[in-house]
Structure 1
Amino acid sequence: MGEQGSYIVSLVMVGIGAMLILVIAFLLTFNHSQRRKFRHRQEMMTLREEQQNLLIEAAIKAEESERKRIAEELHDDVGALLSATKLYMHHIDTGPLKETDRLSHEKCIELLGESIGKVRTISHNLHSIMMEDMGLNEGIRSFLRKLEQSNSLSIIVELDESYGSFTGGKDINIYRIIQELCNNILKHADAQALTIRSWPENKHVNFQLQHDGKGLSQEMFEQLRFQSNGLGLKNIQNRVALLKGIILFDVNDMNSSVLLKIPAENGVPA
């Protein structure tokens, strides 16, 4: 091969090298662009999730504020009026009354007493004052004691004490989830026995509700929580999402259960 042939080969090699450099540059630019787009999508997803959590948190705070207001009005206004009415009823002279009228009078006093008790229970459930004063576990126990007293439901409570209370408003959200789940069991499960337990495990605190009635599968929960008549399940899911937790439903021939897994606080045993 002559000098001219060598020159042509050199030009071809230079051309191939230039093309390779262009291809590599294109691939690097494309890869950088894709990575930048991926980061942008991730940032947008994170931003949307943060905005959604802020909206959920604001809605829950507004709900708790309204619950507190209603609880105070029930206790201070309605409860006080019923108590005053009962007091006046006690001061009525029933001597001149017929036997049937005296029985009606006694029945009125009895019904007023029951009404006062129900107003007090509703007020405490709305306000959750026991939980605020004595912590999450005692708040749950207090709620369940009242639930068992007013319903034909046998309840066993086994709450672990090692994790204490949660911070940043998490206590009230866990309490409301358990409260809503228990109310659903009462209304829809036809259960006779309910066991509620908690335990720390793998950097989470688990709360399990197990009963002998009709329950939900995870698939049923996923479907119902998007419906307007979804048994309060949307509210439950919102609170679980705010807690960055997991809720799992299970049902079989023997029993039904709900498992709530909440990330543990600092210092909680793993």
Structure 2
Amino acid sequence: MPALLPIKESQRAVVNEVSKALQPHFSAIRTNWRNRMFAEFQLDGRAMAALERLTIGTGFRLFCHDNIHTFEENTSYYGKRLAKLQVDIRVVSQALDIYLELLDPYVHQMFEVERLGEVIAALDRFSSATYVAVSNAYFDAQKAEAATLLAVLDAELTAPNLSALLNRVLQVTTESFRASLGVILLRDADAPVLRARANVGFGDEIENLEIEFGHGFSGHIAQTGEPGILPDITESHGRLNPFCRDKAQALWGVPLKAGEKVIGVMLIGFAKPYVWLPTEHELLRAIADRSALAIQRAGMTEALREREARIAELSGYLLRAQEEERKRISRELHDETGQALMVIRLYLGMLEATVTTRTAKTKIHETLEVVDRTIEGIRRIIGRLSPLVLQELGLIAAIRKEAKDLAKSAGVKAKVSVGDNVGRLSPVTETAVYRVVQEALHNVAKHAHATTVTIQLRRDGGLVKLCIEDDGVGIKQSQKPNPGRRSFGLAGMRERITTLEGTLKVGPASRNDEGAGTRIEVTVPAASAGDWHDRGLTLVPGSGEVHAKGAN
């Protein structure tokens, strides 16, 4: 609490002496001072009462007992009250000057000429010190208001969800106004009904509270969209809902509005009757306006999170459905198309053995070669759709096979490095990591113009880390994307990893010059096949399918 400017003990003694000497005349001085103030400034009674508390006439009883410290505390308190009443600080200065002016004739009558300089200097010093203390109080009041609004903003920026935001905003508000209780009621999405979403001082008793618009104090605020005050609950005349009647002696309420729509109401209560001051009213409305925007944004954010969660769930389902569809197509290619081609080849071989003309034999032989190439192509397609090696031998063997196929088909030397502790992972994890390797190596063969590529797979605690790096042309960050060309390769890889709560990063290769080569880093949780067994899930050998224990 700011103290008055230092006043010498001799000057304090003079102030005490003057207050005692003028005691019989303070009533007349106060009357004249009030008349002057009303005539010049038209202040209301609350402002006049606070200003009067700053004068030597009001403090003379304290001075008589040498209790100037209490007067200093009063000065700070009433200075803040004047700030909340929005009294211009220049009016405070003029009020103190007018009071000194009215004291002057009495001082000249009561003190000898040789002491007048000392007395007037002490009174001037006292008046100046009082003005400085009031100025500090004004500053402290403005600082407290700014701190409150910053705290609300901080809650908006840091609250992880809507519930935390509401509780934090209400806590800040009740602490700022020194209220004994508070509640935030939000409008129901489907009906004009208010429901309690956060409270201070009520406990769990209002969790199921519902208030219709237009009913009670808060319902009236919600319906009209205007602030309301019950400075003394005993005079509420039935407007108050029962849940508040025994909890507080005064209630303030403000609507929470998004544009013109009321989305809720904020109430705070006090243990004794209390009428808000102008700046308190404005501060409460500012908190409500700021909070309403934050609540609206938090609600939109939560809705967006829910949608993102649904999209992620749907994406995971689609990826699983895609894998199942790939397995189905590969089975059909193997069981139907593949078998049909083998029968065709068998019949052609039998036919080749029966014909005698050179021309017919040549044509049949050429047809057999086409069939063989087709069978080989079908096998490659089946391998890419649902690789048998991944299902039967696991991720590591499947990655090594992809590396060999890359060297064979594209002439790119591939080096695979696998940590000793990787082991078998869950089918979902192995499939996702394998598909990332498969897509990355496909991109290397098609776009990178690389000569070498390295694949590193290791386990780091509870994480599996994959790194694929090539020495090709790299991804040119400066190149603008072609609107007519859309590639879903990286997006698909990222989506697969995201569904496993992992991360995927793409950037330039670390071993090459800037912009040369590409590096893909993947990190996923290392859920092992044993973990799936512990959860009551088993991998069906040779199928890649996951079944629950005991499932029919």
TM bin, normalised by shorter chain, reads 0.7 to 0.9
Instruction: Verify: 1:232 aligned to 2:276, yes or no.
Output: no
Distance of 1:166 and 1:38 partners within structure 2:
41
Question: How big is the shift at 1:28?
Answer: 11
Which ranges in structure 2 are unaligned for 5 or more consecutive residues?
1-18, 20-25, 34-47, 55-73, 85-140, 146-175, 178-282, 529-552
TM-score, L = length of structure 1: 0.78
Question: How big is the shift at 1:105?
Answer: 2.5
Distance of 1:15 and 1:146 partners within structure 2:
84
Name the structure 2 match of 1:246.
504
Deviations 1:76-95 (A, max 9, x none): 11111111111111112446
Contact 2:474 2:518 in 1 (8 A): yes
Contact 1:218 1:249 in 2 (8 A): no
SS at match of 2:53: helix
Alignment of structure 1 residues 1-270 onto 2, 5 Å: 2=26, 4=30, 8-9=52-53, 13-14=77-78, 16-17=80-81, 19=84, 23=145, 24-25=176-177, 26=283, 30=287, 33=291, 40=299, 42-94=301-353, 96-167=355-426, 169-201=428-460, 204-217=463-476, 223=481, 229-230=486-487, 232-243=489-500, 244-250=502-508, 252=512, 256-265=517-526
**Structure-2 change in CA distance of 1:93 and 1:203 (3 Å):** closer
Distance of 2:527 and 2:336 partners within structure 1:
42
Matched to 1:16, the amino acid is K
Distance of 1:227 and 1:206 partners within structure 2:
34
Contact 2:406 2:445 in 1 (8 A): no
Question: How big is the shift at 1:67?
Answer: 1.3
Contact 2:414 2:452 in 1 (8 A): yes
Deviations 1:7-38 (A, max 9, x none): 62179845834835995334798299377567
Identity among equivalent positions (%) equals 22
SS at match of 1:230: coil
**Structure-2 change in CA distance of 1:41 and 1:96 (3 Å):** closer
SS at match of 2:363: helix
SS at match of 1:196: strand
SS at match of 2:466: strand
**Structure-2 change in CA distance of 1:139 and 1:56 (3 Å):** same
Question: How big is the shift at 1:157?
Answer: 1.6
**Structure-2 change in CA distance of 1:228 and 1:168 (3 Å):** farther
SS at match of 1:169: helix
Distance of 2:517 and 2:463 partners within structure 1:
22
**Structure-2 change in CA distance of 1:194 and 1:101 (3 Å):** farther
TM-score, L = length of structure 2: 0.41
SS at match of 1:162: coil
Contact 2:403 2:415 in 1 (8 A): no
**Structure-2 change in CA distance of 1:215 and 1:90 (3 Å):** same
SS at match of 1:163: coil
Distance of 2:332 and 2:527 partners within structure 1:
38
Tell me the C-alpha RMSD between the 2 structures: 3.7
Deviations 1:150-169 (A, max 9, x none): 44333222122413244372
Distance of 1:103 and 1:178 partners within structure 2:
42
**Structure-2 change in CA distance of 1:139 and 1:57 (3 Å):** same
Distance of 1:60 and 1:209 partners within structure 2:
22
Structure 1 range deviating more: 109-118 or 41-50: 41-50
Larger radius of gyration: 2
Work out the number of aligned pairs and report it: 265
SS at match of 1:191: coil
Structure 1 range deviating more: 155-164 or 170-179: 155-164
Question: How big is the shift at 1:40?
Answer: 4.0
Structure ranking higher in helix proportion: 1
Which ranges in structure 1 are unaligned for 5 or more consecutive residues?
none
Contact 1:184 1:231 in 2 (8 A): no
